[in-house]
């Protein structure tokens, strides 16, 4: 069960992930799980050292958890990453009409009608601690995108709930819904991982497509067969079946 024990709310903060890591460094850290949320971030971070658009209206939150308290081990991290993406996807899908197509871009980017709406940044500041950051474009209008993001979003279009629904969504409700769904999926990691993987596979954009994946040590090309029990992508390549793992950013506290 993911019962939140500490909550911090900011009008503005550099990054909720960074604030959580700061809290974990304190001589008396907060009781975990700890949730940090903010109306806006001044230095929001995405995966791959990218800047995350974090203006007012977005859902911006980080959860600090201890692996053992969730009955998880480090071998479960890739599945946790997928579980968080799926929880975010379902939270969004639940608010949208059926004609809007929600999908997961492995490992955990959420797309609606081909445009990115949310993402997850999973960091591991100590072997036992995880900081799971999630950003969803909710009530932030695309007309207010700062100029430094325009080039990036032209290449990779994004969307937000308000652009689709034409009405604002209550962010505290979304946060509660996400946490509840995440709690169920964390449970599934140890009780029924096959079902979790199957649910991810069903909405995964890459499955059944030819992919080119850029890794630190080179490029792999192949046909995506699906996702294995560890949460890795299975690719059929000229050299046989290869698996691609998700990267979890490991940071010193």
Q: State which residue has the least CB distance to ligand BTN.
A: 119
| Residue of 94, 95, 88 whose CA lies nearest to 116 | 88
CA distance 38 to 90: 22
46 binds ligand BTN (CB under 6 A): yes
Element housing 8 (H / E): strand 6-13
**Which 5-24 positions form the footprint of ligand BTN (CB under 6 A)?**
15-17
Stretch that binds ligand BTN, among 130-138, 159-167, 222-230, 243-251 (CB under 6 A): 130-138
**H helix runs in the chain, sequence order:** 16-25, 77-93, 150-155, 161-165, 171-191, 193-202
CA distance 63 to 34: 6
117 binds ligand BTN (CB under 6 A): no
> Angle 134-161-180 (CA atoms, 0-180°, nearest 5)?
45
37 neighbors 7 (Cβ within 8 angstroms) = yes
Stretch that binds ligand BTN, among 44-52, 88-96, 187-195, 202-210 (CB under 6 A): 44-52
The encoded tokens of residue 52 equal: 């995350």
207 binds ligand BTN (CB under 6 A): no
Q: Closest separation between CB of residue 73 and ligand BTN, Å? A: 24
Q: Which of 121, 174, 207, 224 contacts ligand BTN by CB under 6 A? A: 121
Stretch that binds ligand BTN, among 82-90, 93-101, 119-127, 224-232 (CB under 6 A): 119-127
User: SS3 helix, strand, coil % of the chain, rounded to 5?
Assistant: 35, 30, 35
What is the per-residue binding string for ligand BTN in 68-87, x denoting contact by CB under 6 A?
--------------------
Q: Which of 33, 57, 64, 135 contacts ligand BTN by CB under 6 A? A: 135
Residues of this chain that interact with ligand BTN (CB under 6 A) are 15-17, 41, 44-47, 50, 52, 60-62, 109, 119-121, 133-135
């Amino acid at each position: 069960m993911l019962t939140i024990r500490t909550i911090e709310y900011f009008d503005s903060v550099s990054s909720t992930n960074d604030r959580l890591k700061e809290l974990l460094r304190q001589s008396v850290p907060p009781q975990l799980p700890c949730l940090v949320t903010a109306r806006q971030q001044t230095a929001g971070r995405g995966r791959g050292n990218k800047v995350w658009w974090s203006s007012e209206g977005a859902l911006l939150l980080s959860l600090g958890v201890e692996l053992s308290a969730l009955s998880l081990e480090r071998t479960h991290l890739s599945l946790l990453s997928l579980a968080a993406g799926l929880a975010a996807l379902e939270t969004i899908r639940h608010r949208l009409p059926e004609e809007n197509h929600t999908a997961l871009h492995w490992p955990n980017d959420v797309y609606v009608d081909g445009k990115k709406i949310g993402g997850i940044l999973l960091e591991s500041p100590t072997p036992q601690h995880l900081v799971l950051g999630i950003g969803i474009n909710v009530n932030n209008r695309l007309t207010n995108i700062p100029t430094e993001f325009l080039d990036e979003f032209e290449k990779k279009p994004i969307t937000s709930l308000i652009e689709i629904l034409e009405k604002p969504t209550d962010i505290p409700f979304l946060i509660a819904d996400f946490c509840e769904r995440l709690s169920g999926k964390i449970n599934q990691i140890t009780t029924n991982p096959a079902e979790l993987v199957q649910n991810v596979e069903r909405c995964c954009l890459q499955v059944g497509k030819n992919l080119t994946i850029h890794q630190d040590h080179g490029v792999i090309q192949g046909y995506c067969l699906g996702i294995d029990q560890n949460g890795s992508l299975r690719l059929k390549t000229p050299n046989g079946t290869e698996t691609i793992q998700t990267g979890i950013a490991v940071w010193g506290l």
